[in-house]
Structure 1
Amino acid sequence: MTDSGRQVFDPGLQPERTALAWRRTGLAITVAALVAVRILPEVLGPWAIVPAGLGLAAAVAVLIAAHRRHQAVHRTLIDADTDRVSLPSGALPFAVTVLVTGGGIAAAIVVLMTHLEQ
């Protein structure tokens, strides 16, 4: 049963599984930022804090956006009178894709810079 007393809208609890996947994504970004703090000081010196801080800020933003997205989806599914509902846009997946791609490119540049210096 749901909050409104109707049947569960999704017996497989797909919105909850999606929310858990976004939490794991936020955790992975956090771990990547902490690894950056551990590895980058040899290359960037004290400036290594900048990418790590950006990574942690991005992780918090992903976690907050994922929580809001889950609330919106849950509310929409609970209040819907039909099986056809419009769900949130793909802005969060797009933002995470851009973030991860940018981080990968930055990591490749750092590796190439250190390799060329040797």
Structure 2
Amino acid sequence: MARDVLTDPWKLGELKGWAPLFRNPFTDIFGCVMTHQSGFKCQDFEARFGDCMEAYGPHRGAKECRVYFNDLMECSRMTKQVKRVQEMRAERKRQYKAGELKERYAPPPKIDAF
């Protein structure tokens, strides 16, 4: 099950850490390094979360924007995808040990298969 903003206090710290403490030209130049706005797959999720946080503010936004934040964290950390792959590997290992499969790993596709 995915973690929620309200149940994980450490994520509330992530919500409040979006702006630099002191603004200067270096923070303006290198501020885009820690975002997903440079053409990555999560840029839409971050934009929705940023719009929501801007609309509600940091205190109320922690509650109102938790869905957008959870979507952004899932996109950037891929926890569900990693869990799904682990479950598939465990099931294949179980089937191999139980004798349901003759080979532990599936054969690779032929070279010109694509």
TM-score range, shorter chain: 0.3 to 0.5
More helix by share: 1
Instruction: Flag the structure with larger Rg.
Output: 2
